[in-house]
Structure 1
Amino acid sequence: MLRLEQVRVRFHDQIVLRDVKMDVPASRTTVLIGRNGAGKTTTLRAIMGVLPLENGRIWLDDVDLTGVRSHDRARFGVGYAPEDRRLIPDFSVEDNLLLPAIALRLAGEERRRRLDEIFNLLPEVAALRHRAGGVLSGGQGKMVALGRALMVGTRYVLLDEPFQGLAPALALSYADTLVRLRKSRPDLGLLITESTPRLLDKIVDNSLLIERGEISSLARKAA
């Protein structure tokens, strides 16, 4: 279980998250819904340690992640695909995918196994493996960012606005990819932020609504 307890985040002298409490179960898909500026991206950045907490704690099972440095949180099996992708433009797609595994000093055999798994799940990314990250389209970059998150996300993957800026056909293709991911990795916990989450209807288990930095309602998918 990934858990946020009374998490408060201040950014530029403004409180962005207001004592947020949130549970993200393992092996489930949790969608965090909210308008722009509601606190969705800040929530993911706080989980990944990109933004410091003013108050509260973040737990992964019995491990307190609060004091763990941002780049070390991937060691606990948490992958993150930010909205802006953040690919290294001069690196090939394959090198962008391998970068977090190299940072974690994974053995070469394990890197190759994970890379093959990603290419099997994302054949469109496999076809781009030798292309430079800087020449990818927005949709291609989103898929590569998903693959990079999966390289280290063995327990949880956090996706920030994955459909933002995508043409309708590409958004549907990405949604289909998430359905395949859910089937191929039933053990994986997913936390996805979205403003309009209808494309996630096939995989969502829990829906959380965030407004002005507060979790204001919780609806569970009917069995």
Structure 2
Amino acid sequence: MSSLQVEELCVAYGKIQALRGISLQVPSGRICALVGANGAGKTTALNAICGLRPLVGGRVLLDGRDIAAVPPHDRVTLGLVQVPEGRRIFGRLTVAENLAMGAFRRRAMRSELQADLDEVLTLFPRLRERMAQLSGTLSGGEQQMLAMGRAMMAKPSLLLLDEPSMGLAPRLVDQIFETVTAINRLGVTVLLVEQNAFMALEIAETAYVLQSGEVVLSGTGAALIDSEAVQEAYLG
């Protein structure tokens, strides 16, 4: 399990300041939620943490190590793995091939990879039935399961999830959030970005509310659910 510390993170798109010095901590072994409305900067924050967006200022510390200069693919090797918004699976590859791609950068024995695959298929039993199917023909819920399963094949110690419930039916949303908690119980630290604030705060031990590129509230998930300001702004 890894811990994450973000200090005074600043990101800009040209002259537009997308993140204005945000700071947050994700303790080892915890689920942390980052919630906010569309355009608040949630995805930008994850991409900056993963190295997909350059920093204007601030630091990203993984287990106390500053990784701001570490390339994105090497951050994966360090255990920092993202499930991107929109899933971004390889639609022309089979489910089995997508899962194998998740382990592309790992140097592990075949037996270890098989054990990890078995663990993924236990988390997502529906994928076991679809292993030979082209991923582009899966339902939206199945594609989200595949995206999460592919990330787990990279053996993350810190998993970043970007809007895992987006576009899913309510029944599948419940299932996805149950799986997030199951992944955490396996020993993976989780940073969860969600517009569905209520669901995210229910499972998060710590949480941050992002608004216009700034952290405006933070606390335990339970405390933020009970916050009148959060309820009015995000929960209705």
TM range (shorter): over 0.9
Name stretches of at least 5 consecutive residues in structure 1 with no aligned partner: none
Q: 8 Å contact 2:33–2:201 — kept in the other structure?
A: no
What count of residue pairs does the alignment treat as equivalent? Answer: 221
Q: What's 1:2 paired with? A: 4
2:198 matches 1:198: yes
Q: 8 Å contact 2:77–2:105 — kept in the other structure?
A: no
Q: What's 2:211 paired with? A: 211
2:45 matches 1:43: yes
Name stretches of at least 5 consecutive residues in structure 2 with no aligned partner: 224-236
Q: Secondary structure in 1 aligned to 2:74?
A: helix
Q: What's 1:152 paired with? A: 154
Residue correspondence of structure 1 range 87-126 to structure 2 within 5 A:
87-126=89-128
Could you tell me how far apart the structure 1 residues matched to 2:199 and 2:77 are? 30
Per-residue CA deviations over 1:174-215 (Å, capped at 9, x if unaligned) read 1222233333x1x32111011123223552101110011111
Q: 8 Å contact 1:77–1:156 — kept in the other structure?
A: yes
Give the deviation of 1:104 after TM superposition. Answer: 3.1
Q: What's 2:75 paired with? A: 73
- Give the counterpart letter for 2:95 in structure 1: V
* CA distance 1:196–1:169, shift in 2 (3 Å): same
2:183 to 175, 181, 185: 181
CA RMSD of aligned residues (A): 1.7
Could you tell me how far apart the structure 2 residues matched to 1:153 and 1:211 are? 32
Q: Secondary structure in 2 aligned to 1:15?
A: strand
Where does structure 1 differ by over 4 angstroms across 4 or more consecutive aligned residues? none
**Percent same amino acid among aligned pairs?**
35
- Give the counterpart letter for 2:211 in structure 1: E
2:56 matches 1:63: no
